[in-house]
Structure 1
């Protein structure tokens, strides 16, 4: 890892025009790591452009520097010298502009997903890290930077959200030590938690009511699943982005080993999210259908099948996965 960090530092020192991006439907780690990376590069006198295909969630827009992230792909992509792809296990996760990003002369991938598929030689990947923000903390410690309140806040957000508010199994001594440092240097745990959890709009709660009404368990009682349809979004005046963290409700049921969230998307796609408790590797399970992710959190998607067809395939595979059939 030290050698990789040194190579990344050399590229940062050598170049001036940087493009930073992350995955579609960005979570707190994706946005927090982007914003922190962008600020550090600007401290070094670099020109930085940050891009994410999808619009940020309302609470993400309150993070320091979030207004700098663009949702329209830059027309001057050929002018960038270095592209930094954060929190992405594969380049296709950046969205529709994968081919344009691939043209950037130097690509750097910093990621912690279990199913990371290399798309560039220069990659800082550690599946044991709690988050991409944790990896950036290590990278920044190899630079001389001003640990500003905004950098500390954004990195804390990444670690806090990817560990499920320090509840998930990826919470460990290392990430808590980093969180402590970030708090000592200005990150406010109470203010961050308030922004993330206590700024919900009424229509999002109405959508949650609709989704929880679909809750079902398999006969064995160890798999729980819920569904969100386009009809629900229309009825409640919401979008699929408003379902962030909904899967954690079925995951919280006693004795559940795997929680599954089926969500209808545009263009005839159906997204399937998995969460697990304990030693159920849902990244492997999602991999059966071309997806991936982390040991306890993963996803895949289907196109051209009905919701019932997708549910039948996915639930059968999950049952077989748990019960060894």
Structure 2
């Protein structure tokens, strides 16, 4: 978890690995995952749970459970959880309202992305009325950055490149950068929004080296450009304007060449 995420209500109950008693579980709920492989190293353990329920809003959702609540028009999985909780007439505690607000706030890019709509703003308003604090949440997310994360950002922005047409921008984070700055890939949250913010950029791409010879690729787009389709060329997916895919066994330069060429062809109709 990022430092600010550790301050959220109930964060102390989050575990990074499955407990040994996984075989005693009767029901598992997979949240905000379009396919089970996105759960990573926990996939095998999750498959052992007899009944799985998937609640998700990704455009590229691939059904992997019989019980499923999916709506690609929802701003976030938090919005779906709000509807579910509302139907159960739960007690709207400050903790629940805070966490659901955070989910909507972050998935809409602080209410800046195209998935920000009347519906999610109405839900956010309800959550604020019942105890969520927009100012405190924004303060935790944006103003609790550690200095080593800024040093990592400095390294990453130093790799900024634009394609000759000037409509695709991309940056890179390597394992060497993480080691140099004492950070991890988790510290790169939202870094892709810097190249995305450049004037006239239509697609921003972030290449990130991970452990076990993986390279993650994140996409962001502006306007009517479906990067979920673009990521799908490489087995990935996500949302219309925000998606990702991953590679294994290729060098960074090989991945960059494939991905940038595909993005160019996607934009310019080749």
TM-score of the superposed pair, with normalisation by structure 1: 0.82
Find the aligned partners of 2:250 and 2:52 in 1 and give their Cα distance. 35
Aligned to 1:190: 135
TM-score of the superposed pair, with normalisation by structure 2: 0.99
> Match of 2:6, SS?
helix
Find the aligned partners of 1:70 and 1:310 in 2 and give their Cα distance. 32
Displacement of 1:247: 0.2
Displacement of 1:99: 2.1
Displacement of 1:72: 2.5
1:58-105 deviations in Å (ceiling 9; x for gaps):
110000110011113111111111100000001111121212211212
After the TM superposition, which segments of 4 or more aligned residues of structure 1 sit over 2 Å from their partners?
none
Displacement of 1:271: 0.7
Find the aligned partners of 2:230 and 2:22 in 1 and give their Cα distance. 36
> Match of 1:141, SS?
helix
Find the aligned partners of 2:89 and 2:173 in 1 and give their Cα distance. 47
Displacement of 1:209: 0.5
1:265-287 deviations in Å (ceiling 9; x for gaps):
11111110000000110000001
1:148-203 deviations in Å (ceiling 9; x for gaps):
00000000000000000000000000000000000000000000000000000000
> Match of 2:90, SS?
coil
Tell me the C-alpha RMSD between the 2 structures. 0.7
Find the aligned partners of 2:253 and 2:50 in 1 and give their Cα distance. 44
Mapped pair 1:173 → 2:118: yes
Mapped pair 1:276 → 2:231: no
The number of residues matched between the two structures is 270
Please list every run of 5 or more consecutive structure 1 residues that lacks an aligned counterpart in the other structure. Answer: 1-55
Find the aligned partners of 1:81 and 1:236 in 2 and give their Cα distance. 43
Displacement of 1:250: 0.2
Displacement of 1:144: 2.1
Find the aligned partners of 1:207 and 1:62 in 2 and give their Cα distance. 23
> Match of 1:155, SS?
helix
